[in-house]
Amino acid sequence: MSEFGKTLDKATDDKVSFITFIIGEFARVYRMNRQQAYLYLKQYGGLDFIFECWWALHTDNPNQAVFDINHICQLNGGTR
């Protein structure tokens, strides 16, 4: 069976779904497109924070999660 026939386990699927969702929410709140949001989050540590803390972030209100991610970015020099 090729790699393309494999499915993700539930935990990985949940993580990917949340990360995709929260980047979109960040983009919406800060009026960016998804690519701009991704690059901003990558540059200012937000993406690392999401990957490390996704489990806790996904249990929070999405607006609060976006606020927390933005706070991390600001601590790392971001200006949004």
The pLDDT assigned to 11 comes to 85
- Does residue 34 belong to any structural domain of this protein? yes
- Does residue 80 belong to any structural domain of this protein? no
What is the average pLDDT across 30-43?
98
- Does residue 5 belong to any structural domain of this protein? no
- Does residue 64 belong to any structural domain of this protein? yes
- Does residue 4 belong to any structural domain of this protein? no
Q: How confident is the model at residue 78 (pLDDT cuts 50, 70, 90)?
A: very high
The pLDDT assigned to 2 comes to 47
- Does residue 69 belong to any structural domain of this protein? yes
- Does residue 15 belong to any structural domain of this protein? yes
Range of the domain at 66: 10-75
pTM tops 0.95, yes or no: no
Q: Which residue has the higher pLDDT, 80 or 28?
A: 28
Residue 7's contacts (CB-CB under 8 Å, 6 or more residues apart) are: 13
In this structure, the chain runs to a length of 80
The pLDDT assigned to 47 comes to 97
> Domain tally for the chain?
1
- Does residue 36 belong to any structural domain of this protein? yes
Alpha helices in the chain (DSSP H): 10-29, 34-43, 46-57, 62-75
